[in-house]
Structure 1
Amino acid sequence: WCCISFNAWHKKGRKEYCLYNNDNAACRFGSTIGLIGFLAATAFLVLEAIFQNLSSIKLRRRAVLMDTGFSATWSILYLIVFGYLGIAWGKADYPYLGNGINNCRAAIVFSFFSIAAWGGCAFLAYARWQQGADMTEFTSGFDP
């Protein structure tokens, strides 16, 4: 998300405009999806680290279900971001001195890679859900 947040804006006088065809919504949408995805990935990483210490089976099942749902949703949202940024970039004029071109292109490519990354996370979370269907994955690792 940093490619968009910091480098997809061009300052002309006192006003900043988005390099994606002067469409500020394209820059904001890509930045928002990227930032929320980064924060959620960090939260899911922490949740994964403490997963075996969660004592409630219901809590473990909800954690895996949340991971599956969020990852699948974010994969779809990154597909939308990829299309939106790609179309906006295709309509954009060449920036002054080529300033920010590589950052805009990198944001489009990374949003494409994020589709597969979040889709893979959703698949692995769903596989974990299927393994836990017999409740062995969700039971605690110690005998009471």
Structure 2
Amino acid sequence: MDGFQAYGAGKAGGAFDPLTFVRQPQTVVRLICWLFSIVILGCVANEGYVNRPEEDEEFCIFNRNQYACSYAVAMGTLCFFCSTGFLALDVYFPQITGVKDRKKAVVADISVSGLWSFIWFVGFCFLANQWQASEEEDNPLNEGADAARAAIVFSFFSIFTWGGLTLLSLERLKRVSFEEEYNKLFSPPLA
């Protein structure tokens, strides 16, 4: 069992190597998800609301539907915190020695990544639909149009980045499950 190290279990308790961590595909994709959430949040929070001189309050650029802007801001914020939390888990993951604990972490990652992929699919469809239904007379100067398009495009990209994280986590689950089976077969029996 000296030569077997299933996804870092053999190195558990070792020093953290930031260069190795940043080079992992899962870390790179998670950082991209984190960046996309910031872009979406920034676009909608900064330029997603406009006001006309004859009206007192601001309205959402997406077909005057406040729910569209609220959805984008809420999902961008939650996705930012979720990405940050799972980045922290990725840093801590090599330190987890128990196979069952590793498996729980990986299953949580699969579930959350799959859910975020679906949420961004719904968000993309919702924002694109509301943008298409927007009327030109609501925003004659086309204020915030680039920001709205950017939010739609990055929500589309987020579907695939979170889907990619789901696939990477499934691959990680296979390695952890293999480690569990290996330990069952080759662990010495307790006397």
Gaps of 5+ in 1: 140-144
CA distance in 2, matches of 1:76, 1:118: 9
Of 65-74 and 8-17, the range deviating more from structure 2:
8-17
2:100 equivalent in structure 1: 58
Is contact 2:43–2:147 with CA below 8 Å preserved after alignment? Answer: yes
Q: Which runs of 4+ in 1 moved over 3 A?
A: none
Q: Could you tell me how far 1:56 is from its partner in structure 2? A: 3.0
TM-score (normalised: structure 1): 0.89
1:8 aligns with one of 44, 48, 59:
48
CA distance in 1, matches of 2:174, 2:101: 16
Q: Does 1:106 align with 2:146?
A: no
Q: Could you tell me how far 1:76 is from its partner in structure 2? A: 0.7
Of 41-50 and 2-11, the range deviating more from structure 2:
2-11
SS of residue matched to 1:50: helix
Q: Could you tell me how far 1:130 is from its partner in structure 2? A: 1.1
Percent of aligned positions with the same letter in both sequences?
31
Of 58-67 and 100-109, the range deviating more from structure 2:
58-67
2:70 aligns with one of 21, 28, 38:
28
Q: Does 1:129 align with 2:173?
A: yes
Aligned residues: 138
CA distance in 1, matches of 2:56, 2:151: 25
Q: Could you tell me how far 1:57 is from its partner in structure 2? A: 2.6
CA distance in 2, matches of 1:132, 1:57: 7
Q: Could you tell me how far 1:17 is from its partner in structure 2? A: 0.7
Q: Could you tell me how far 1:121 is from its partner in structure 2? A: 0.4
Larger Rg: 2
CA distance in 2, matches of 1:11, 1:50: 46
Q: How does 1:63-78 map to 2 (within 5 A)?
A: 63-78=105-120
Counterpart amino acid of 1:72? G
Counterpart amino acid of 1:109? V
